[in-house]
Amino acid sequence: MTRITALLAIAAGSHAANWPQFRGPSASGIGDGGTPLSWNGESGRNVLWKTAVPGLGYSSPVIWGSRVFLTSATPVSFGAAEVKLGLYGDIGSVQDEGAHRFEVHCVDRKSGKILWTRVAHEGAPKVKRHPKSSHANPTPATDGKRLIVSFGSEGLFAFDLDGKPLWRKDLGILDGGYFRVPSAQWGYASSPVLHDGVVLIQADVQQDSFLAAFDAGSGRELWRAPRRDVPVFSSPAVIPYTANGAKSLQVVVNGWRHIGGYDLKSGRELWKLAGGGDIPVPTPVYADGLVVITNAHGGARPVYAIRTDAVGEIAEGSRAIAWKQDRVGNYMQTPVLHGGVGYFCYDNGVLTALQLSTGERLFQQRLGGGNAGFSASPVAAGGRLYITSEAGHTFALELGREYKLAAESDLGEPVMASPAVADGVIYMRGRNHLFALANER
Strands (E), 110-245: 114-123, 141-142, 146-150, 156-160, 165-169, 193-195, 198-203, 210-215, 221-226, 237-243
Burial class (CB in 10 A: 0-12, 13-18, 19+), 334: buried
| Total-model pTM | 0.95
For residue 378, give the DSSP letter.
Answer: P
d(CA 117, CA 283): 28
| 18-50 per-residue burial string, b: 16 or more CB within 10 A, e: under 16 | bbbbbbbebbbbbbbbebbbebebeeeebbbbb
Please check whether residue 109 is in contact with residue 67, taking contact to mean a CB–CB distance below 8 angstroms: yes
Phi-psi map region of 140: left, alpha, beta (phi>0 left; psi -120 to 50 alpha): beta
CA 52 to chain centre: 21
d(CA 420, CA 125): 27
For residue 81, give the DSSP letter.
Answer: P
441 residues of the chain, pLDDT tens digit each? 444 444 434 433 334 489 999 999 999 999 999 999 999 999 999 999 999 999 999 999 999 999 999 999 999 988 789 999 999 999 999 999 999 999 999 999 999 999 999 999 999 999 999 999 999 999 999 999 999 999 999 999 999 999 999 999 999 999 999 999 999 999 999 999 999 999 999 999 999 999 999 999 999 999 999 999 999 999 999 999 998 889 999 999 999 999 999 999 999 999 999 999 999 999 999 999 999 999 999 989 999 999 999 999 999 889 999 999 999 999 999 999 999 999 999 999 999 999 999 999 999 999 998 889 999 999 999 999 999 999 999 999 999 999 999 999 999 999 999 999 999 999 999 999 999 999 985
Q: What is the pLDDT of residue 1?
A: 46
Burial class (CB in 10 A: 0-12, 13-18, 19+), 264: buried
Burial class (CB in 10 A: 0-12, 13-18, 19+), 369: exposed
Where is 12: in which H helix or E strand?
A: helix 3-12
- Residue 193 main-chain phi, psi, to 5 deg: -120, 135
Please check whether residue 241 is in contact with residue 247, taking contact to mean a CB–CB distance below 8 angstroms: yes
Q: Is 313 helix (H, G, I), strand (E, B) or coil?
A: strand
As a residue count, the chain comes to: 441
Domain count, the chain: 1
Domain holding 236, by residue range, is 3-437
CATH (domain of 148)? 2.130.10.10
| 201-224 per-residue burial string, b: 16 or more CB within 10 A, e: under 16 | bbbbbbeebbbbbbebeebeeebe
Q: What is the pLDDT of residue 10?
A: 43
Pairing of strands 433-437, 425-429: antiparallel
Torsion of CA 284, 205, 200, 146, to 10 degrees: -110
